[in-house]
Structure formats: C-alpha cells, structure tokens
Structure 1
Amino acid sequence: MAHTPQAVWYGDQTPAEVERQARAVVRDAARKRAVPVIALYNVPGRDCSNYSGGGASTTAEYQAWVDAVARGIGGHAAMIVLEPDSLALLPADCGQDDERGTRTTARYTEVNYAVDTLESLARTKVYLDTGHPGWHSVTSIVPRLVRGGVAEATGFFTNASNYRTEEDSHWYGTLISSCIAYAEDGGAAADCPDQYWPRADAQAWIADNVKTPLSRMKHFVTDTSRNGLGPWTAPAGKYTDAQDWCNPPGRGLGDRPTTVTGDPLYDAKLWIKIPGESDGLCLRGTAGPEDPERGTVDPAAGDWFPEQALELVRLAQPPLPRR
C-alpha cells in the first residue's frame, strides 16, 4: 500500500513552507518522469470547522497561500485536487453564514482565485470539488461548480476520502460533465438528469440535449483509495447517526491509480485520501468515547489508524500483489 502513488496534501503550512515543499515535490516528480497529485486543503472554514477544521483565517491570507503554492509549482507538471468539501460543504450548509451569505460568497471568491492562479500555470491541471455520488445530486452540485469557476478549470473530482464504487463515481462524473456542457450552452442545470435517473433515460437525454464536442467538455478524476468494497451500510435502526463516511468497518483498497481509464473525459483514478489515515472520532450518535462499531477510540482525523490500514490491505479489491 505504501508503494502505491498517493496524493500529497498541503493545508497547515505557512506560505514559505508550502512554497518550499511544493517545489521539492514537483522537482522530485520531474526527475522520476511522474506527475504529482497535490491536494490543497486550506480554505477558510474548511470542513465546517468539524473533524478536519482549520484553514486560512481570511480570504487575503488564503490567496497569499495559493500564490506561494503557485510559485512552488512554477513550470512543472502537477494535478491539483482543489479543496475537498469546499463546494459540497459550503458555510451556508452548516449554519456558519449570515443572512447575506457573506462567508459563502467569500468561499466562491477563494475557490475562483485558486482556479485562476493555478490553472494559469503552464503544466498544471486543476480539479474542483463535487463531494460524492451519495451526497449532492447532479442538479445540486453543477451550479456550485459553475459559480466556483469550473469553466476556467480542467474539471472536477469526486469521491475524495469516501467509499462510493468506481461504477457510481464514473457515472456521476459523466453526468456532471454533460450537465456542465448543457449549462454552458445556455441550458438550465435543473433540467439535467441526475444519478438517480434510470441510466437508459439519462443516456437518451444526454444524446438529445448535449451537443458540445468531447474536446470542449470538462474532465474529471475520482478517488479509488478506499472504495474496493463500496460504501458501508449500518445495521438498520442501530444508530441515530451512522456516519457511514467515518472509518467504516470492513472496507478495502480500490483500483490502483492510473490514467488509463478508457474514457476521454476520465483523466485518472487516484488515491487522493491517504489510506490508513483516520477519518476522525466516530461516535455514530452515541455518547462515546469509543466507536461502537470498532470498540476502540478512533484516532483524530488525519492520524494513522493501524487497524483500519490492515483492514484495507486485507480486503483490497482488486487484491494487492504479494511482494
């Protein structure tokens, strides 16, 4: 697992630190004739101040931090996974905004700034957040992507740090790309098919309504790091809040990272989330402190979780090769 390519995450470094570290990563990748995947995670109010809360204090501070990332990358190749949960989990979604939507407006300003700054680099591709196919409908997330500046980005990513199947993530990406194209041609995103439509109906709608050539449509990447067995379903009626995204038991590593996807819009399967790092303290609606599914106190978000790491390896689909 450790020898499989994974994203490099930045989020708590100072501008000077992130510039130096990003420069070292892209130079090292260039020597190996590889393209690094860099996940940026420093937007103000990230994760609605929950398990992975933090981020820059102000928009100006965030913009200075993005400028430092851009200086570090320079003319080297890089794929940027821009701010997981930044669009799927806006300040307005978690009661952290005022009635004028000040913080949500700032979030869009911050994401747009990052897109404009990083996508303008000669060999950098930027992908925006969509959450995952079990969260927002296509008609819900596409307006957020449009407002977030997807028109200027290479595309978007889905399933970051989640467990949705490869099939579901691929289809979700296809639907989102089609809906963006339809909206850019003047259509209403609300008319697009979402992931809950019968597939044949959605395919027919796309054939009838999306006239944009593939060469002009937005691309996408998915996170396959922990989706080998798909999402966990909690026992019926057991928990008031099952937190199916939080260190679910019995999951396995998914497809290995690759740019060979067989779909011209599907740029890569990636390991965005570092498998083996905890999702946080999972209480599932109980008083805790133990995770009732595991009988242990889960490590804090981002900390190493040895038991879960071994689980992911043992249950990997496809299985990991023996070394």
Structure 2
Amino acid sequence: MRRRSTALFGTSIALAAALLAAPAAQHAEAAPEPAAAGPRRLHTPEANPDAYRQAVRLALTGRLREAAGIVAMVRTPHAVWYGDQSPAEVERDARAVTRRAARAGEMPVFALYNVPGRDCSNYSGGGASDTAEYQAWIDAVARGVGREQAMVVLEPDSLALLPDDCGQDDDEGTLTAARYTEVNYAVDTLESLPGTRVYLDTGHPDWHAVSSIVPRLVKGGIERATGFYTNASNYNTDDANSWYGRLISSCLAHVADGGDAAGCPDRTWPREDAEDWIRANVHTPPERMKHFVTDSSRNGRGLWIPPDGKYTDPEDWCNPPDRGLGARPTLRTGDPLQDARLWIKTPGESDGRCLRGTDGPEDPERGTVDPEAGEWFPQQALELVEFAEPPLLPGR
C-alpha cells in the first residue's frame, strides 16, 4: 500500500505539472496589451493551494478536462486580496508581489479589504479596529508597494455600504464620517506613490443610482484618485458595467464643473436620452475624466434570478448557482474611460455561508453548507469553468 500511495502521489505531481503548463502557454498567446510605457499585461499571483488540490483529485479520477479548467482558471490574472494580515505581513507580501510582477513586466492588482466595520459585520465582516489602526495598515501597504507599478481596488463595499446604510451608526454619523476619513487617507497615501493607481468603490449597476453613488465618491476623495471600479464580486454583464461606468464618469465631470449630481442620467434612462444629456452637459475630454475598471470574474452568464417568492432574502449575490467565468482580464478594453477589465473576485472562493433567509445551516439553493467567505468552494469552481463565457478551454 505504501508503494501504491507513493506512486499515486508521484502521478498527481506529474499530472499537475502538465496541466499547469498548457494553460500558461495558452494565456501567453492572448491578444497583445497596450504598447504604452509601463506593464503591458496583468499579473497572475500565486493561486489558492486548494485549487491545485482539487485539480489533482480530478485528474486522478480521470476528469482531466475539469482538472485543466481549474488550473487554467487560477492561472488567469486576478487580484491579490489583503485584509486580515498584520502591517508587517502585508508590507512584506505586497513588496514580494510587486517586485515579482515588475521583473515579469506585469501589473499587479491589489484588493484592499480592511476598513473598520467592513461588510457591515456580515459574512466577510472584520477589518481594522479603528481609524488609527487602519491608517497604520495602509502605511504598511504603501511601504510594500514602494515605487513599483500597481493597481489598487480600494475597499469593496466601503462607499456603497456605509455604516449608516446598515444601521450601525449613531445619530451623529460618527462611523460614517470615520469611513470617509479612512478612504480619503488611503487615497492620499497610495496615490502619492509614483506607480500606483487607486480606484474607489461604486458597488454594482443594480445597487446605487448614479446620483446616489457620485456624492459618495466625491466625499471619498475621487478627485485625487485615478478613478473607480464597479461590479466587484458581482454578476452584471460587461455591457451593464461599462455603461454604468460611463454614466458615473460623466456625472463626476459634470459635478466637477459645478453641476448637480441629482440631474445626472441613471442606468434606468433610455440610452438615447442619456447620450443626449452627456453630449449637452459633459465637455471634459476622456483623458481628463475619471476612469474606471470592472470585474468580469463571474459574470459570464450574467445575473442569477432567484425563484420567485421562494426565499425571504434570496441573497442573489451570495454563491448563486450555475454562474460562469466572464471575459478574460485585460488592460486593452477599447474604451478610453475603462482602464481595465479585471478578475477582482478570486473565482472559486466562497462568498460565505449563504442562508437565503432560512435558519440554515445549509444553503437551500445548493443543499450543502457553503464554505466560509474566502475559502475554496470546489462545487462553485467547477460551475464557473463549465459555464464560462467565453469558454475557458478550447473545444467546448
């Protein structure tokens, strides 16, 4: 038995090595990125080790195509998330990632997720204990990045989900005011680095109206940031995300020229009417407007529509079934306002233990107990590969 186990282990290593090589070569042949100065392609960080364990298990049972799909997924550029590391740990790791990316001529993407009261203390709750601790943590990130190139997706849900939105603030709005202080500090600290671009949170197109999120961006320091991001960890289509981004960027330009956000067109407007408004009210050239990035990590099949009336709280954002990977990340979007299409959410990692208004502990839509937020979710990983649009592997 010992000899057999050793042989299986050796076989699994060989299979994993073979699977790793093919997707990497495929990615290297992708469409060229911009020829401008700086990194021309996005960085692929080290993958969740549980992804490779799943791939090996699949390969050993003869499910080679599924195994190759898992490996191809995690070897596609995606963001590095920081939030639970100490200042010393985040400084050391950010320095290692940025230097490794720089040697490869690649742009790393960091999703910073440590703001106090993050996620309204829900599935992904946590974060720094107070503003001072958060600022010290941001300082550590800045020291780690240093003079290297990096894109920063700053604090998902930090502006779309303020403490006041979830009933966790006092009558004076102390925590919400602190949130704006924290976000502004991060903008000023990180944008002051020579190679770092900072993007602020807008939630996603089905959440805030343009007239609602733009004032929050202004209070969060968007004037001094490179821009904003939308659809982080969500499922809206690329078309919906790009249109929402354009509307927000146009409204920000209008407000910067003295206009009122309340009059800006929303995504519910007919596009022709919104285009007419933009032509009449926005005269800032695209290079001077606020740019944006979007998340296509899980939007290949668009939004999940919960069964009508089945759940008191369907949690359509939380591990919805049968979603697929979206378009591959790129710095070449063809849109003068969109700097990149990214995989911000790490595909294959759980959103949390979704209960959909039930007592649980099972996710009633799946019939299983979902992994904790950030843990590898093998069932969802296979779905994302199977339903990827465009397909992840040739021959589907």
Task: Give the TM-score band, short-chain normalised.
Answer: over 0.9
1:256 matched to which residue of 2?
328
1:96 matched to which residue of 2?
168
Q: Provide the secondary structure at the position in 2 that maps to 1:215.
A: helix
Structure 2: how far apart are the matches of 1:58 and 1:251? 36
After TM superposition, the structure 1 = structure 2 runs for residues 205-284 of structure 1, keeping only pairs within 5 Å, are 205-284=277-356
After TM superposition, the structure 1 = structure 2 runs for residues 1-323 of structure 1, keeping only pairs within 5 Å, are 1-322=73-394
Q: Provide the secondary structure at the position in 1 that maps to 2:74.
A: coil
Structure 2: how far apart are the matches of 1:161 and 1:297? 20
The list of structure 1 runs, each at least 4 consecutive aligned residues, that deviate by more than 3 angstroms after superposition, is: none
Offset from partner CA, 1:175-225 (integer Å, 9 cap, x none): 000000000100000000011111100000000011112121000000000
* Count, aligned residues: 323
Q: Provide the secondary structure at the position in 2 that maps to 1:109.
A: helix
Aligned-pair distance for 1:322?
4.2
Structure 2: how far apart are the matches of 1:215 and 1:269? 18
Structure 2: how far apart are the matches of 1:74 and 1:289? 44
Aligned-pair distance for 1:259?
1.0
TM-score, normalization: structure 1? 0.99
Overall identity of the aligned pairs, in %:
74
Structure 2: how far apart are the matches of 1:5 and 1:127? 18
> Partner letter of residue 126 of structure 2?
G
TM-score, normalization: structure 2? 0.81
Q: Provide the secondary structure at the position in 2 that maps to 1:172.
A: helix
Structure 2: how far apart are the matches of 1:14 and 1:309? 29
Q: Provide the secondary structure at the position in 1 that maps to 2:106.
A: coil
Larger Rg: 2
Which segments of 5 or more consecutive residues in structure 1 lack a partner in the other structure?
A: none
Aligned-pair distance for 1:237?
1.0
Structure 2: how far apart are the matches of 1:9 and 1:257? 16
Aligned-pair distance for 1:66?
0.4
Which segments of 5 or more consecutive residues in structure 2 lack a partner in the other structure?
A: 1-72
Let me know the Cα RMSD of the aligned residues: 0.8
Offset from partner CA, 1:156-190 (integer Å, 9 cap, x none): 00000001111100000000000000001000000
Structure 2: how far apart are the matches of 1:224 and 1:308? 16
Q: Provide the secondary structure at the position in 2 that maps to 1:18.
A: helix
> Partner letter of residue 312 of structure 1?
L
